[in-house]
Amino acid sequence: MQNDTIFAMATAPGRAAIAVCRMSGPGARDAVLRLAGRVPPPRRAQLSRLAHPVSGEAIDDALIFYFPAPRSYTGEDCAELQVHGGTAIARALIEALGALGLRAAEPGEFTRRAFLNGKLDLAQAEGVADLVDAETESQRRQALRQLEGRLSRQVESWRQSLLGIAARLEAELDFSDEGDLAELMMSNIVIDDIRQLTSEMREALWHARTGERLRDGLRIVIAGVPNAGKSSLLNALARRDVAIVSEHPGTTRDALEVHLDLAGYPVTVVDTAGLRDASDAVEQIGIGRAMQRAEAADLILWLVEPGSAALAPPRFGGSGDVWTIATKCDIAPPGWLPGTTPPAKLSLSAVTGAGLEQLEAALEGFARERLEIDVGVPALTRERHRQALAAAVEALQRIAADPGLPPEIVAEEIRVSQNAVGRIAGRIDIEDVLGEIFGRFCIGK
| pLDDT tens profile 172-219 | 666 555 554 445 455 456 788 888 899 989 988 887 778 888 888 899
Amino acid residing at 389: L
Task: Report CA torsion sign: 32, 34, 35, 38.
Answer: positive
Residue 143: count other Cβ atoms within 10 Å of its Cβ: 23
29-74 pLDDT, tens digit each: 999 999 999 999 999 999 999 999 999 999 999 999 999 999 999 9
Q: What is the pLDDT of residue 344?
A: 86
Q: Where are the alpha helices (DSSP H) in 148-300?
A: 150-174, 181-185, 191-206, 208-216, 230-238, 281-295
161-175 pLDDT, tens digit each: 888 888 777 766 665
Residues 6+ apart with CB under 8 A from 154: 204, 378
- pTM, entire model: 0.76
